[in-house]
Amino acid sequence: MTTNSSPQLWLYDTTLRDGTQREGLSVSIEDKLRIARRLDQLGVPFIEGGWPGANPKDVQFFWQLQEDPLKNSEIVAFCSTRRPHTNAASEPMLQAILAAGTRWVTVFGKSWDLHVTTGLKTTLEENLAMIRDTIEYLGSQGRRVIYDAEHWFDGYKHNPDYALKTLETAIASGAEWLVLCDTNGGTLPHEVTEIVQAVNHHSSLVADKAQMKIPQIGIHTHNDSDLAVANALAAVMAGARMVQGTINGYGERCGNANLCSLIPNLQLKLGYSCIGEDELAQLTEASRFVSEVVNLAPDEHAPFVGISAFAHKGGIHVSAVERNPLTYEHIQPEQVGNRRRIVISEQSGISNVLAKARTLGIELDQRQPEARQILQKMKDLESEGYQFEAAEASFALLMYEALGKRQKFFEIKGFQVHCDLIAGKETTNSLATIKVSVNGENILEAAEGIGPVAALDAALRKALVKFYPQIAEFELTDYKVRILNGNTGTTAKTRALVQSGNGHQRWTTLGVSTNILEASYQAVVAGLEYGLLLYSQPKALFISSEKLKSQNTTVSES
Amino acid sequence: MTTNSSPQLWLYDTTLRDGTQREGLSVSIEDKLRIARRLDQLGVPFIEGGWPGANPKDVQFFWQLQEDPLKNSEIVAFCSTRRPHTNAASEPMLQAILAAGTRWVTVFGKSWDLHVTTGLKTTLEENLAMIRDTIEYLGSQGRRVIYDAEHWFDGYKHNPDYALKTLETAIASGAEWLVLCDTNGGTLPHEVTEIVQAVNHHSSLVADKAQMKIPQIGIHTHNDSDLAVANALAAVMAGARMVQGTINGYGERCGNANLCSLIPNLQLKLGYSCIGEDELAQLTEASRFVSEVVNLAPDEHAPFVGISAFAHKGGIHVSAVERNPLTYEHIQPEQVGNRRRIVISEQSGISNVLAKARTLGIELDQRQPEARQILQKMKDLESEGYQFEAAEASFALLMYEALGKRQKFFEIKGFQVHCDLIAGKETTNSLATIKVSVNGENILEAAEGIGPVAALDAALRKALVKFYPQIAEFELTDYKVRILNGNTGTTAKTRALVQSGNGHQRWTTLGVSTNILEASYQAVVAGLEYGLLLYSQPKALFISSEKLKSQNTTVSES
């Protein structure tokens, strides 16, 4: 889609700084480094790493990147202007910025007179001096400066003359980019269009007059009005050339502009060049990688990269989309590394079951009685609280069962679990005893574990590994429990979802019971069974067991 | 904000039809009725109830509403045009629509030639006849018709002449509204602006010529490009007067336009009149009500109505927002029934702790050593995996503890849990034994439960209820378990979040342990303790224990 003639846009990722302001998100230095290297692979030109000096974690982070630098991206240090009535050169904060050793520094300053007088409690004139001194000092130390005009849009609406003066100061001091920030996220797209056009016009005049290079405009938006992506697009269409945002839209309150939505919109729909095509095809993977590192569940309904983004549920859609994807999909999912998916759910008709069978490589015909049996069994289980939408491996087992193809690797005869806690002592281990039959042979095994599910899991593996040595490679990668009928408390049904992996593939299974241990055990058992099935029927392939791509793709120069 | 002179917009909610296409969402008839009545209270003019005839649940739903109608809103039945080469009057589907007994019916028809020829497999001419016959027949039976032009924007882009012909047909057949649908969600705001303007112009000409009333334009958008709200706003600014969407943006794939974002944008920012001011102040509650009924966790970061939408985390923000909220908030949270909130997190400084204390009604001064102790304790616990952001009741207990104000209602000495499962038999109950001390008296109690957590909970209540009879009123309203370090499986740390209630208030507590039972038990114990605290210190009030508002507010005529 992008060609050599596509106009270039510069992406600026702030996941590691503004993104970490999201409630519930916290990252270690190691997490930050992993994310930075992933963004580097993706070909994001600017990565804002944090505010060295404001917290020790960020100081460490920049030091580590000096030892082992990024390959493609510029890592950017972020800071405020100097404090009122100080000297930039003697600000310890700015010394920490220089020590971070980046080529680029982003300085944020106040645009809104109200913030100057009530926030900083200084004069409008001093604020201009703070902007000037900070940018000039960093320039004198060999740094290239991006100027973030904080609260730009609100400031401009309240006092355009003063707001423009702050930008004039930044231009005259040598800032190369002027980034207009909708810090409170309250601006509407048509306002963004007008104001960006006005700034573009004004800053060209000012730069010309001052005989400075005309700085380029950037945009930094927040999602408080559900318009962060639209506002960024509006700014680009009005002339902005840098787009700031975060992976998965993480950020304070309602988040920042989501780069996972912006990049495909800009590149596939508006024809700008942001990253390479191959890198664009890694976007879904990058989104999920970041959500894993920050330990937040991915948003399944996220545009472009969500697991539901190209999922088809209604019966009409399913048959039509199989005939002609264009009729029900706005882009090809593969362009952003996502996949079409047929959803199995309560509303599913027989056509969904057939389509699902096809993606599993199973021959199933509408006229076969098994097709209806599978649909019926699925509906019965769903009425008991099973939900196969997120547990496709369990659905695959159900299909194999109905078709008489489910291999009996083992059979559970029963188990016992015992836990004991004495206040003030370290938690004693849980003890599980399990009886399992393999090829007619009964095995009784016991194991301890840190919790009851761990103990059960350990006992089961211990019993099975001599028959199926590949079990040693399996691991539980995620484990979630949800109460089903919210108003009956601890006696309600629980649904356990277990994600398992073998280093190459991942798959999800589920269990449902009023007993949390039984639900967990069902899911663990199905996870082991499906893992064994992958060895005996390796062709069974679907999204949740998709082979994890290697992450050493080289990044182009785009 | 809205005055008598504000231009009127008509909201059209499709949570109960398009919203239920969301993957993972399923509703009973009872759920649908509860949601319809809540929307009725909110003053939404049109509520699309479903497609009677397409599924038995929807037939029932409309019958029940005929028995006990809504007070303010029009309930709307939804259907397609007749099938190719049939007679509208003899279509069983349309008979089911009439039997639903609504004043208004929404008919959707094909706008995109490709869908007619490859989807319906009929001629372009027959599609026009299908639109005409269906609308005319429903009109002849006394129904008022809204025409949903499916795939409008894609159809118009591919073949504007044919697309406009479908609208001309709908106008000539008596449709009162033409709703332009971006069914695949791929359209950009500037395209919406252009196309809506073109349609508005064209349909006025056509209606004039045909001497028909000029139909009004509506907009129906999807979020596949993260632009559903922006697209709806663009359409309104280009002349659309009906806005379709769903509560919380539920819908297929990436969802529909979110009414919880659209209403405040339209009403507070663009000055349109949608619902009454008092109803707008119920929006947050309505959003959470619907998410509870459909049993999906609310999106904490949702614009306007999310629990984080007005949450302040960074230290600078917190002190500034307390001085002047306008500087960091785009609207007053109370206008949409939300609240400002100070977040407790790893990044918190002492100012957050102080601000939080104030919202809890606790006097705490920066110079008190306890303030720093609380911050330190919180940071220590967070490094062990505790997260207080979603468990403010646990944080309150921590504060009371540090201040020496934590009342010792009871003390747990220890517990034992035993579970037994024999394959092929019904699950045997779990048995829990607990030793607890109240006012120096040791109580040993045992109880059975359907699962180990239920058994523990039952034993604990049994031991305590004779001392604290109010415990009989407490209930567990939600219970979630999350694994913390995703890569270590069942031996990883688990965090249990328990939401408790007493019929008036709800509060959330947490527990962390490698043993799922211990984590759960910690959270259950803290929940009981906080509930008892609410009786002895009823003034302690914060968002998670906010008094649930009664839902019998009368709806104005807006």
Grouping H, G, I as helix, E, B as strand and the rest as coil, residue A195 is: helix
Shortest Cα distance, chain A CAs vs residue B103, angstroms = 27
pLDDT of amino acid A348? 60
Residue B553 banded pLDDT, cuts 50, 70, 90:
very low
Q: What is the pLDDT of residues A103-129, one digit of tens each?
A: 999 999 999 999 999 888 999 999 999
What value does the mean pLDDT of chain B take? 86
Looking at the predicted structure, is the pLDDT value of residue A551 above 50? no
When CB atoms are compared, the residue of A382, A390, A478 closest to B486 is A478
Contact present, B13 and B44 (Cβ < 8 Å): yes
Asked if B331 reaches chain A (Cβ–Cβ under 8 Å), the answer is yes
List domains and CATH numbers for chain A.
10-293 (3.20.20.70), 311-402 (no CATH), 411-544 (3.30.160.270)
pLDDT of amino acid B347? 53
When CB atoms are compared, the residue of A255, A302, A414 closest to B301 is A255
Residue B219 banded pLDDT, cuts 50, 70, 90:
very high
When CB atoms are compared, the residue of A114, A327, A515 closest to B419 is A515
Asked if B468 reaches chain A (Cβ–Cβ under 8 Å), the answer is no
Which of A444-448, B59-63, B90-94, B342-346 has the weakest average pLDDT?
B342-346
Asked whether the CA dihedral A81, A84, A87, A93 is positive or negative, the reply is negative
Give the contacts of A80 (CB within 8 A, at least 6 positions apart). Answer: A93, A107, A108, A109, A134
Measured between beta carbons, the chain A residues lying within 8 angstroms of B515 are 419, 421, 427, 430, 450-452
When CB atoms are compared, the residue of B225, B478, B487 closest to A477 is B487
Query: Across residues B90-106, what is the average pLDDT?
Result: 96
When CB atoms are compared, the residue of A119, A417, A420 closest to B419 is A417
Length of chain A: 558
Contact A416 B412 (CB under 8 A): no
Contact A480 B476 (CB under 8 A): no
Measured between beta carbons, the chain A residues lying within 8 angstroms of B238 are none
Shortest Cα distance, chain B CAs vs residue A128, angstroms = 19
Residue A135 banded pLDDT, cuts 50, 70, 90:
very high
Looking at the predicted structure, is the pLDDT value of residue B530 above 80? yes
Measured between beta carbons, the chain A residues lying within 8 angstroms of B261 are 225-226
In the DSSP assignment, the letter for residue B290 is H
Contact B224 A112 (CB under 8 A): no
Residue A488 banded pLDDT, cuts 50, 70, 90:
very low
Label residue B264 exposed, middle or buried (CB < 10 Å: 0-12, 13-18, 19+). Answer: buried
Contact A226 B261 (CB under 8 A): yes
Which of A121-135, A214-228, A511-525 has the weakest average pLDDT?
A511-525
Contact A229 B226 (CB under 8 A): yes
Spatial separation of the C-alpha atoms in residues B395 and B410, rounded to whole Å: 19
When CB atoms are compared, the residue of A184, A477, A489 closest to B329 is A184
When CB atoms are compared, the residue of B21, B478, B524 closest to A483 is B478
Query: Across residues B237-254, what is the average pLDDT?
Result: 97
Give the contacts of A423 (CB within 8 A, at least 6 positions apart). Answer: B411, B412, B413, B414
Q: Which residue out of A16, A23, A269, A522 would a mutagenesis test of the B interface target, given it has the greatest number of B Cβ atoms within 10 Å?
A: A23
Contact B225 A413 (CB under 8 A): no
Query: Across residues B2-30, what is the average pLDDT?
Result: 85
Q: What is the pLDDT of residues B112-166, one digit of tens each?
A: 999 999 888 999 999 999 999 999 999 999 999 999 999 999 999 999 999 999 9
Nearest CA in chain A to B153: A330
Nearest to B455 by CA among B474, B435, B434: B434
Query: Across residues B474-499, what is the average pLDDT?
Result: 69
Query: How many interchain CB pairs under 8 A, A with B?
Result: 366
Shortest Cα distance, chain A CAs vs residue B530, angstroms = 17
Please identify among residues 410-449 of chain B the ones whose CB lies closer than 8 Å to any CB of chain A. Answer: 411-423, 427, 430, 449
∠ Cα B300 B303 B306 (to 5°): 25
Among A5-9, A178-182, A453-457, name the most confident range.
A178-182
| Helix residue ranges per DSSP H, B413-536 | 452-464, 516-536
Asked if B120 reaches chain A (Cβ–Cβ under 8 Å), the answer is no
When CB atoms are compared, the residue of B24, B308, B452 closest to A23 is B308
CA of B151: how far to CAs of A326, B23, B135, B154, B259, in Å? 11, 21, 19, 6, 21
What value does the mean pLDDT of chain A take? 86
Looking at the predicted structure, is the pLDDT value of residue A395 above 70? yes
CB-CB neighbours of B422 under 10 Å: 14
Report residue B496 as tokens. 């249990």
Shortest Cα distance, chain A CAs vs residue B291, angstroms = 12
Contact A265 B415 (CB under 8 A): no
When CB atoms are compared, the residue of A189, A224, A306 closest to B230 is A189
Measured between beta carbons, the chain A residues lying within 8 angstroms of B503 are none
Q: What is the pLDDT of residues A244-295, one digit of tens each?
A: 999 999 999 999 999 999 999 999 999 999 999 999 999 998 998 898 778 6
When CB atoms are compared, the residue of B26, B323, B453 closest to A346 is B26
Looking at the predicted structure, is the pLDDT value of residue A347 above 60? no
pLDDT of amino acid A317? 66
Among A393-402, B53-62, B137-146, name the most confident range.
B137-146
Contact A253 B308 (CB under 8 A): yes
pLDDT of amino acid B494? 80
Asked if B345 reaches chain A (Cβ–Cβ under 8 Å), the answer is yes
pLDDT of amino acid B556? 29
Contact B417 A418 (CB under 8 A): yes
Contact B490 A449 (CB under 8 A): yes
When CB atoms are compared, the residue of B227, B237, B450 closest to A491 is B450
Asked if A54 reaches chain B (Cβ–Cβ under 8 Å), the answer is no
Nearest to B220 by CA among B152, B267, B163: B152
Of chain B, the percentage scoring pLDDT greater than 70 comes to 89
Looking at the predicted structure, is the pLDDT value of residue A552 above 60? no
Report residue B364 as tokens. 């705490």
pLDDT of amino acid A324? 78
Contact A189 B233 (CB under 8 A): yes
pLDDT of amino acid A427? 58
| Between B49 and A484, residue with greater pLDDT | B49
Contact A412 B423 (CB under 8 A): yes
Which of B62-71, B247-256, B392-401 has the weakest average pLDDT?
B392-401
Asked if A306 reaches chain B (Cβ–Cβ under 8 Å), the answer is yes
| Between A150 and A372, residue with greater pLDDT | A150
Please identify among residues 174-203 of chain A the ones whose CB lies closer than 8 Å to any CB of chain B. Answer: 183-186, 188-190
The upper half-sphere exposure of residue B28, i.e. CA atoms within 13 Å in the direction of its Cβ, equals 8
Measured between beta carbons, the chain B residues lying within 8 angstroms of A269 are 186, 188, 225
Report residue A493 as tokens. 């049904």
Spatial separation of the C-alpha atoms in residues A278 and A136, rounded to whole Å: 39
pLDDT of amino acid B384? 74
Confirm whether pTM is higher than 0.80. no
Contact A330 B186 (CB under 8 A): yes
| Between A248 and B354, residue with greater pLDDT | A248
Spatial separation of the C-alpha atoms in residues A534 and A286, rounded to whole Å: 26
Grouping H, G, I as helix, E, B as strand and the rest as coil, residue B283 is: helix
pLDDT of amino acid A214? 86
Contact present, B387 and B510 (Cβ < 8 Å): yes
Residue B174 banded pLDDT, cuts 50, 70, 90:
very high
Spatial separation of the C-alpha atoms in residues A541 and A424, rounded to whole Å: 49
Residue B552 banded pLDDT, cuts 50, 70, 90:
very low
Which of A76-90, A170-184, B487-501 has the weakest average pLDDT?
B487-501
